[in-house]
Amino acid sequence: MNEFVTLETSDEHPGVGTIRLARPPMNALNRQLQSELVEVSREANSRADIKAVIVYGGEKVFAAGADIKEMQGMSYADMSGAAQELQYGIAAPALIQKPTVAAITGYALGGGLELALACDRRIAGDNVKVGTPEVLLGVIPGGGGTQRLARLVGPAKAKDIVFTGRFVGAEEALSIGLVDEVVAPDQVYYAALTWAKKFTGGASQAIRAAKLAIDQGLEVDLENGLAIERHLFAGLFATDDRVIGMTSFIENGPGKAKFTGR
């Protein structure tokens, strides 16, 4: 039984899994929590009953960053060995080949923002503060922040946020594409749930392929990205859902297929 991170499902909302962080008061991402994130992300990825995943820190805070007390005494030799594990742990939701959404309340700072950046979508309360304040500690983001943030909002905006370490409010975060939706603070989880439920009856193999094509294609040039797309597109012709979807379209019109996820 994990201490800080759980994977929750409910009969009320079948098909949606919630990765829940619970390390009061601020969900600081220590090494144990990172390890548990990897464990539950792998479970969410492997479970056929889960079609989409919400990452949620609770009503008051998403995650205020890595555990600085844990890092303070580490040497260069210590961190050079631990950096890859830290990067892997904080970005664990990127392991999930299903739609993922970060439901952000309160603060998402440093590693907390990096955790949100590892999701496909970010929904925030209108009172949130996000940012990468690592430079104020004499370091840089080490959980994927310099890379995912720049890819999301562009290098100039990413440099401003990283160089200054400033907090970004909800309105600015929405305007630069750092978050995708802003709602009232008490509606954050509900809004994330509404988005996640769109995929519970979807063609799971096609959604997985689409996510892989986009994510992997961003890392290569156009020619290789198109090759990735061709490979994944052709592979879907070996799935039951492709037969179901095309047959239903011909017989009943669009949007009426009952997919099995196989």
**Domain spans, the chain:** 5-199, 204-252
- The whole-number pLDDT of residue 90 equals 95
- If one looks up domain 204-252 in CATH, what number appears? 1.10.12.10
244 pLDDT above the threshold of 90: yes
pTM given for the model: 0.95
Domain 5-199 matching CATH 3.90.226.10: the answer reads yes
Residue 261's Cα: distance from chain center in Å?
22
- The whole-number pLDDT of residue 55 equals 98
Question: Which amino acid does the sequence have at 125?
Answer: G
76 pLDDT above the threshold of 90: yes
Residue 158: which of 167, 169, 149, 166 has the closest Cα? 149
* Sheet of 129-131, strand order: 107-109, 129-131, 168-169
- The whole-number pLDDT of residue 1 equals 83
Please say whether the beta carbons of 126 and 184 come within 8 A: yes
Contacts of 68 by beta carbon, 8 Å cutoff, 6+ apart: 28, 137
Please say whether the beta carbons of 18 and 53 come within 8 A: yes
- The whole-number pLDDT of residue 66 equals 86
Residue 205's Cα: distance from chain center in Å?
19
Task: State the chain's mean pLDDT as an integer.
Answer: 96
Catalytic residues: 114, 134
81 pLDDT above the threshold of 90: no
Sign of CA dihedral 242, 232, 261, 256: negative
